[in-house]
Amino acid sequence: MLPVVVKKDGARAPFDREKVLRGVRLACNKRPVAMDRIEQFIDELERQLIECEAKEVESKEIGERVMKLLRGLDEVAYVRFASVYRSFRDIDEFRSELDEIARTRSDGEARR
């Protein structure tokens, strides 16, 4: 069973698949990501939440899980979602995130 989501203000609500789906679709807008991949993405998120066996999960944790999964799905969609979710204060924070992506990508290519 999916845990109850604890929002920033402490309110509790059932997990809303459609809300997450809307956010991921928006991040993937005009990107080469098939709808069935997005559905699989949401299925994977739900599976992770069920497997954690917690009765409640903070919305922050869900956001972090979405970003982690999005990063593996499409880097541009990840940056779009992260820019809204993390509310970057300025271009330096945004650049720092992009630098981290580039560093991770370089590390991955060096291992091949």
Is residue 103, in this structure, part of any structural domain at all? Answer: no
pTM of the model: 0.77
Number of domains the chain contains? 1
Distance of alpha carbon 53 from alpha carbon 56, whole angstroms: 9
For residues 71 and 78, the answer to whether their CB atoms sit within 8 Å is yes
Is residue 28, in this structure, part of any structural domain at all? Answer: yes
Is residue 94, in this structure, part of any structural domain at all? Answer: no
Domain residues for 54? 4-87
Of 38, 43, 46, give the one whose Cα is nearest residue 14.
Answer: 46
Is residue 16, in this structure, part of any structural domain at all? Answer: yes
Is residue 23, in this structure, part of any structural domain at all? Answer: yes
pLDDT (tens digit, 9 = 90+) per residue, 14-73? 999 999 999 999 999 999 999 999 999 999 999 999 999 899 999 999 998 998 889 889
- The number of residues in the chain equals 112
